[in-house]
Amino acid sequence: MKIIAVANQKGGCGKTTTAVNLSAALAISGARVLLVDLDPQGHATLGIGHDPNTLDRTIGDAMVDRQVSINDITLETRLSGLSLAPSNIMLGTVELDLRDRTGKELVLGEKLHMVSSQYDYCVIDCAPPLSLLMLNALVASSSVVVTVQTHYYAIEGLKRLLETVHIVRKRFHPCDVKALGLLLTFVEDRTLLCRQVQQQLREFFGQLVFDTVIHRNVRLAEAPSAGESIFTYAPKNKAAQEYMAFSQEATKRLVQWEIQDGEA
């Protein structure tokens, strides 16, 4: 099972939208996918069709209680092949519950390892700030997709987040997390500022920036309120084409990594 964390340096960069629609695109392509909502806001849970306020158990229960497995808390979704490990506001208490546990940064990875044969991909929607929850996501993952809104402050925030990924990789074992790439979101090609920042990001980060970009899109913004991915809400919309193209580009990079690792 390949574990992909979706993260950003601040809120409002399309992180949850990307986690939901990447998961959906992979499932539509025939993969078995687990979407893990690791944000106490529960937006991925809501965006895939479940009410966070009515949940009996969440991913937090699986992390805190040694007797609760991922399978015990997993919910099905409207898409065949896509399962959800949900979240709600109570996930915010996990840091307090785990504060005295040895190896508390490894808890999520250990639980996901137990279901690794059941899925081809696990996509984690991270909480925005660097917390124990995000640390668990990074330690558990083999790759990170960073969503980036095209504004002038993007580069500094990205540098800090990529440095964090590098530090986590060095400090925790076992952990081989690397940045899979940067996905530009809320892109508006008609504005000069957006075009300039895109160029600046590509010049600074080079091939780390995905070729695919996600444009600002009304239907994409509406889909979460219906509890659907863009693929079921508006399957012919441009955003569906863009997220499918992104999923294909991301999986191609993962395959290239495997080939490079095999040659090393």
Question: Is the pLDDT confidence value at 261 over 90?
Answer: no
8 Å CB contact between 23 and 35: yes
Q: Tell me the angle at which helices 238-263 and 15-28 cross, rounded to the nearest 10 degrees.
A: 80
Q: What is the 3-state secondary structure (H, E, C) of 57-113?
A: CCHHHHHHCCCCCHHHHCEECCCCCEEEECCCHHHHHHHHHHCCCCCHHHHHHHHHH
Q: What is the pLDDT of residue 259?
A: 82
Q: What is the pLDDT of residue 193?
A: 81
Mean pLDDT of the chain: 92
Q: What is the pLDDT of residue 79?
A: 94
CB-facing half-sphere around the CA of 238: CA atoms within 13 A: 9
Q: Which residue has the higher pLDDT, 263 or 71?
A: 71
Q: What is the pLDDT of residue 262?
A: 67
Question: Is the pLDDT confidence value at 12 over 80?
Answer: no
Average pLDDT value for residue range 59-87: 96
Q: What is the pLDDT of residue 159?
A: 84
Average pLDDT value for residue range 45-74: 96
178-237: per-residue pLDDT in tens? 999 999 999 988 888 888 888 889 999 999 999 999 999 999 999 999 999 999 999 999
Q: What is the pLDDT of residue 263?
A: 58
Instruction: Provide the percentage of residues in the chain whose pLDDT is more than 90.
Output: 75
Fold of 2-263: Rossmann fold (3.40.50)
Report the alpha-carbon distance of residue 118 to residue 211 in Å, rounded.
Answer: 31
Per-residue confidence band for 260, with pLDDT thresholds at 50, 70 and 90 = confident
Report CA dihedral (178, 3, 242, 216) to the nearest 10 degrees: -80
114-140: per-residue pLDDT in tens? 999 999 999 999 986 778 999 999 999
Lowest mean pLDDT among 161-165, 213-217, 252-256, 258-262: 258-262
Q: What is the pLDDT of residue 206?
A: 93
**Token pair of 152 as six digits:** 């002038």
Using the Cα atoms of residue 37, residue 137, residue 120 and residue 11 in order, give the sign of their dihedral.
Answer: positive
Neighbour order of strands in the sheet with 178-187: 75-76, 82-85, 33-37, 121-125, 2-7, 143-149, 178-187, 209-215
Per-residue confidence band for 84, with pLDDT thresholds at 50, 70 and 90 = very high
Q: What is the pLDDT of residue 50?
A: 96
Per-residue confidence band for 264, with pLDDT thresholds at 50, 70 and 90 = low
Q: What is the pLDDT of residue 174?
A: 76
